[in-house]
A and B are shown apart, each in its own frame.
Chain A
Amino acid sequence: MPAVSKGDGMRGLAVFISDIRNCKSKEAEIKRINKELANIRSKFKGDKALDGYSKKKYVCKLLFIFLLGHDIDFGHMEAVNLLSSNKYTEKQIGYLFISVLVNSNSDLISLINNAIKNDLSSRNPTFMNLALHCIANVGSREMAEAFAAEVPRILVAGDTMDSVKQSAALCLLRLNRTSPDLVPMGEWTTRVVHLLNDQHLGVVTAATSLITTLAQKSPEDFKTSVSLAVARLSRIVSSASTDLQDYTYYFVAAPWLSVKLLRLLQCYPPPEDGAIRGRLTECLETILNKAQEPPKSKKVQHSNAKNAVLFEAISLIIHHDSEPTLLVRACNQLGQFLQHRETNLRYLALESMCTLASSEFSHEAVKTHIETVINALKSERDVSVRQRAVDLLYAMCDRSNAKQIVAEMLSYLETADYSIREEIVLKVAILAEKYAVDYTWYVDTILNLIRFAGDYVSDEVWYRVIQIVINRDEVQGYAAKTVFEALQAPACHENLVKVGGYILGEFGNLIAGDSRSSPLIQFDLLHSKFHLCSVPTRALLLSAYIKFINLFPEVKGTIQEVLRSDSQLRNADVELQQRAVEYLRLSCIASTDILATVLEEMPPFPERESSILAKLKRKKGPGNLHLDLDENRKERSVNGGTADHSSTTSNAKAPMPPQASAVPVLRSAGPLFQVFASPTTSTDLLGLGSTIATQNSAPPASKGASLLVDVFSGNTAAFPVETPVAVGPVADENFSRFVCKNNGVLYENQLLQIGLKSEFRQNLGRMYVFFGNKTSTQFMNFAASVVCQDALQAQLNVHAKPADPTVDGGAQLQQILNIECVSDFVDAPVLNIQFRYGGTLQNIAVKLPITLNKFFQPTEMTSLDFFQRWKQLGAPQQEVQNIFKARHSMDIEVTKAKIMGFGAALLDGVDPNPFNFVGAGVIHTKTTQVGCLLRLEPNTQAQMYRLTLRTSRGTVSQRLCDLLSEQF
């Protein structure tokens, strides 16, 4: 052992490393390492104790070998021994080895913890620092458990050295990030806040980081930090560059601390105390002023540090969003940066301006830079900067400049980078819709959009055009004309064909007067594109053709010919074939009247949030989209942001109910309804299904339609049922929905979705229960049973057929329940579900929507009969009346649909008052039949209903009344 070099350099280590570096091949390296390992093993094994120096050297070698990628399975004990050494270098190497190599489940962890504890309680600051660093580096749960109480104590103890305080603060920050539940919040929190007043700036910087993280978790506890932070900030800002000595970085006073303080302040709203507020405003003004001063140094570090503080200050100004003058100043400052030659600065400026644009105070100020931004879009070399420019244009757009911005974005689209095209398309679509004064302009814009970047136009965009065109009479003619012209281009995008097919199918008649666009020409034009299109588009075109037959009887022959051709009638695609066959038959057998009814113009779509907007939100993580400031602010991490990142992304991934969009739906065409539920559009149809059932005034058809649409065919998420998870108690949230309908989703949580489909005849019923596994793993031991409690047992027989005990991930299991109603009943049976998911047993109980009214058979009767019976059932116990406030809007059609769904026949023209509803029916049970009459009298002024039920049995009357009252 070379005695000369003891203490400092480790010659053996240096020789070993240079040997390794000189190895010619991997094999040689492995040989050298094997040799060294054998040497170290023999040394560690050796009977005579090693001195600290050689221990340190060998541990170091092991560490080096480990870092080269080899396994090390010994030497841990020696490293732990080094921890108890008194020499700094030996201790340091020991700690280094442990933080790199010791995993948390090691047996040595208690020894290590003990050594750390000793060091923490020693008075030597360097040893304390080493121990704290080790805790922070390992950061395991065990460490956190052992030291979560100790570290805060050190942090706030009065006699702790500054450097130790600094380390303790950072160590605590790390523990708080890895296992936040273990770090106790106690009386030390208040004292931590006072560290902001510490005269040592290092301590303040570390403490600020800690406080910011803690303040995000529990803002109340650290409220007092605001005033201290402002005070500290103002002292830094107003200090001369020489005051802070070590903490002055290229003539900027404590830039890191400033940035951290500004971030801390962003956790809180503007201070309420006027004095503090004034002081803060002063600080921010000073920072903005400093930005105007000529730079003190030409070095890039100087300007970087200065700008970092400036940008953080601007973020704070935007966050507070309360000082118009500051906002405008910030905006002007950023405006200067827009033309800076530093790319990063331009990027940051654009990004900050995006948020500024959403503030009411600075929106106008931002708008003044529109020319520069547009210029940036065109001339910028860096694609990420261009992307920001697009964002900013989107953010600054309002009614006054929409036309200009949309035009610029459209023209840019032609040359835009592929990675951002889809986003630009969505943005243009949204802006065009949002700020459209003149819908012809909107239609033009979207058609241009499809022309320039058809591939990037998602379905939502063209659905939306169609929705808007259908909902606005004034543009229909213009739209038809424009698409007709657009379609004449020799090559046009498939999306254009879709829009064209739909619009001409609906409104082709509006331009048919012109001889240049006569029906036949329109048809030929569409059909010339037919063979170039994909199956969904062809399906849409077929629907357009059948609409043509209705609109223009003169082309009927031509179209029938096309439908009859082998390529349609015998198409390999089932969807196309079915459409062709059905449309052909429809056009052959139906009279013009029926055709006209079936193929009537689409009803207006209900207004709802633009689906494009939802898509844009989904596409971009919230980190990029500066639409809603508050949400954004909350999620922004203060100290770098790795810890918060997961929450941001998880938020972005949170499921959003897909917006039902415009798809071709034939009005009141029951059997055809299904035809349109092509695989690609079924999601949307499902969404529409419920609205149609309530909105359209074609009761038998709509009911039939909702029956026909296979509720479970496609995307189950189509139902906007955000059922809160309730495991344990019987779930019955959706129970009342099923009183008037037979199909739908009964229950849903993260794992399981239960859907129902049921049919009833007389006193018998059959219910199909679909258990959908929403996860990707299998459910084991799946069992579902139906329980009828107490009296119900005698009143209702429910027999469940046995089902598979396993449900594969993503699969659906069907179980059939046979139901027999013995006598009238009140309660509902409960469906108990048990299964094993990932090792845990899940128990779910759901109330099955089997209600008395399901066994209703409608009875048609004349006015005379009705009142005769009504009088017969006049006994007081037979009549139940309920007067209640309307819970939903009092729409006549909806009410009618509900009564029909309830099961009674709706009798028109019975009641002298045309606004009253009267229904009749018989409830079948095994033992008896109960005749029921009902009368519903709405009072639109008072928003009240009066519901009267008369049946031959009092209990039945009561139950039916209860059930039906809940529905209005």
Chain B
Amino acid sequence: MIGGLFIYNHKGEVLISRVYRDDIGRNAVDAFRVNVIHARQQVRSPVTNIARTSFFHVKRSNIWLAAVTKQNVNAAMVFEFLYKMCDVMASYFGKISEENIKNNFVLIYELLDEILDFGYPQNSETGSLKTFITQQGIKGQHQTKEEQSQITSQVTGQIGWRREGIKYRRNELFLDVLESVNLLMSPQGQVLSAHVSGRVVMKSYLSGMPECKFGMNDKIIIDKAGKGGVTNEAGKSDLGGGGSTSGKQSIAIDDCTFNQCVRLSKFDSERSISFIPPDGEYELMRYRTTKDIILPFRVIPLVREVGRTKLEVKVVIKSNFKPSLLAQKIEVRIPTPLNTSGVQVICMKGKAKYKASENAIVWKIKRMAGMKESQISAEIELLPTNDKKKWARPPISMNFEVPFAPSGLKVRYLKVFESKLNYSDHDVIKWVRYIGRSGIYETRC
């Protein structure tokens, strides 16, 4: 289990230090600083083992969060906790920065006391935390005894993530499918590796204790439904319309994880995702796919060495989606050799610039419709060096944002049932949005 948690600023000064177990001494704080933050070689591994002590770190802008343990813990759990910790802090005081951490350090200690107990992660749901860890301080006897006991029973109760008696005039629900697509492609256009990691993020403003049901075009669910093996009403009623669509594309999800509110037993037995949603924003599920990925862009590089002192680069990008959709925030990064002494760039669309500090040409295009292509050409002048090392030719990388899910995931339905209060599924206003972003999207040249 986690023995301690430290937060450092970029200089390696300790901002927050919370030790949960006796096997972690003060010297662990220094060990991490010396061996990771101030290491000569940049430490790339998120897990570092120093003197039989494991350090798991994540970095948020200039802030280092490090969890320390001497035991053989589940590293995925530790990172999950660290990310959750970041989310919690962000929801309390916004951006995680040195300034903010210093201003909120009492709050952070309070949070750390609550979400980690003797190194074991506890309830880290922001919504419920906010009921009893507040930033305002105690305003007199603002909270009545009843309210306090309500908080206690809710936090310790079966549904710890939602309190009772929530009431909204308008029942609203926002659903975002956020995906990031990762790619490594050979210069000839062969896909070497590609995968999509996606999240379903919801914002729900629903009254009472509603029961929700979420459906998507996952292969297993659809196959099962197609066979008519589903007995539950919801599935059936939907299939009335969708029966003919079972031939339509469905996607194979490699693995997925759910928010704690999802009933896993139901998912295991019926493959249906049903849950009582927390109030406000939360991440419903996370998934990963590797098959039949729609690659939104194709990068075609052309590098020619002209003598020892010149390099000609031509890069073509092609958008590969419906012409009606618009990709945004496109950025292509073309690395330049370390002995570059001058660059001339010509591009038809967007803006391109040689950034010496990053050793790359950065080409930015604001918007680009589907099924289009665009190109850039650059002449790079080189300075002859006495170094015999050849340039390693790092891959060309790309950033973009597209309004669809590259994995092909579609939300089929999201139903809300609330038996006690009288509003039905139709009264809930639902919003669905798809955003596909680039993860590590690289093409070798």
* Interfacial residues, chain A to chain B (CB-CB below 8 A): 24-26, 31-32, 34-35, 37-39, 41-42, 44-45, 69, 73-74, 76, 106-108
Contacts and interface: CB of A to CB of B under 8 A. Distances in A.
Contact of B340 (A26, A41, A73, A106): A41
B341 A41 contact: yes
Interface string B377-403: 000010111110100000000000000
Contact of B356 (A24, A34, A76): A34
B341 A44 contact: yes
B104 interface: no
Secondary structure class of chain A's binding surface, majority of residues: helix
A74 B339 contact: yes
10 contacts: A24-B62, A31-B357, A34-B356, A38-B356, A42-B341, A44-B341, A45-B341, A74-B384, A74-B386, A74-B387
A187 to B, nearest CB: 41
B22 interface: no
Given A26-B42, A35-B357, A38-B340, A45 B383 contact: yes
A698 to B, nearest CB: 58
Contacts of B40: 69
Interface centre among A25, A32, A76 (most CB of B within 10 A): A25
A79 to B, nearest CB: 12
Contacts of A76: 386
Given A31-B358, A34-B359, A73-B387, A25 B342 contact: no
B10 interface: yes
Contacts of A41: 339-341, 383
Given A45-B383, A107-B386, 16 more contacts: A25-B10, A25-B62, A31-B357, A34-B356, A35-B357, A38-B357, A41-B339, A41-B341, A42-B341, A44-B341, A45-B342, A69-B40, A73-B385, A73-B386, A73-B387, A74-B383
A76 B387 CA distance: 11
B10 A106 contact: no
A49 to B, nearest CB: 15
Interface centre among B10, B40, B384 (most CB of A within 10 A): B10
A37 B358 CA distance: 11
A76 B386 CA distance: 9
A484 B307 CA distance: 92
A39 B383 contact: no
B351 to A, nearest CB: 19
Nearest to B98: A24
B386 A42 contact: no
Interface in B234-260: none
A31 B389 CA distance: 22
Contacts of B384: 74
B381 A45 contact: yes
Contacts of A45: 341-342, 381, 383
B356 A39 contact: yes
Interface centre among A25, A32, A45, A108 (most CB of B within 10 A): A45
A483 B157 CA distance: 75
Contact of A74 (B42, B342, B385): B385
A106 B341 CA distance: 23
Given A41-B341, A42-B341, A24 B383 contact: no
Contacts of A37: 338, 356
Contacts of B10: 24-25
Secondary structure class of chain B's binding surface, majority of residues: loop
Contacts of B387: 73-74
A26 B11 CA distance: 9
Contact of B358 (A34, A69, A73, A108): A34
Contacts of A42: 341-342
Interface string B343-357: 000000000000011
A106 B62 contact: no
Contacts of A38: 340-341, 356-357, 359
A35 B386 contact: no
Contacts of A44: 341, 383
Contacts of B381: 45
A599 B86 CA distance: 81
Interface centre among A26, A31, A41, A69 (most CB of B within 10 A): A41
Interface in B300-345: 338-342
B357 A34 contact: yes
Interface in B31-49: 40, 42
A31 B357 CA distance: 4
B383 A35 contact: no
Nearest to A76: B386
Contacts of B383: 41, 44-45, 74
Given A24-B10, A41-B383, A44-B383, A73 B339 contact: yes
Contacts of A35: 356-357
Contacts of B389: 73
A108 B385 CA distance: 12
B190 to A, nearest CB: 32
Contacts of B385: 73-74
B81 to A, nearest CB: 25
A540 to B, nearest CB: 39
B319 to A, nearest CB: 31
Contacts of A24: 10, 62
B118 to A, nearest CB: 34
A112 to B, nearest CB: 13
Contact of A32 (B42, B338, B342, B357): B357
Interface string B214-245: 00000000000000000000000000000000
Nearest to B342: A42
Nearest to B381: A45
Interface centre among B42, B341, B359, B381 (most CB of A within 10 A): B341
Interface centre among A25, A31, A38, A45 (most CB of B within 10 A): A38
B186 to A, nearest CB: 28
A940 B42 CA distance: 83
Interface in B159-182: none
Contacts of A34: 356-359
A32 B357 CA distance: 6
A35 B359 CA distance: 8
B42 to A, nearest CB: 7
A73 B339 CA distance: 8
Nearest to B61: A25
Nearest to B37: A26
Nearest to B356: A38
Contacts of A69: 40
Contacts of B341: 38, 41-42, 44-45
A26 B342 CA distance: 25
Nearest to A71: B387
A849 B125 CA distance: 89
A593 B386 CA distance: 89
Interface string B119-143: 0000000000000000000000000
A107 B385 CA distance: 12
A32 B359 CA distance: 11
A520 B386 CA distance: 87
Contacts of B357: 31-32, 34-35, 38
A37 B42 CA distance: 20
Nearest to B40: A69
B386 to A, nearest CB: 6
Contacts of B359: 34, 38
Interface centre among B40, B338, B342, B383 (most CB of A within 10 A): B383
Nearest to A74: B385
A35 B353 CA distance: 13
A513 B189 CA distance: 101
Interface centre among B40, B42, B338, B381 (most CB of A within 10 A): B338
A106 B62 CA distance: 41
B20 to A, nearest CB: 29
A31 to B, nearest CB: 4
A265 to B, nearest CB: 47
A116 B341 CA distance: 30
Contacts of A39: 356
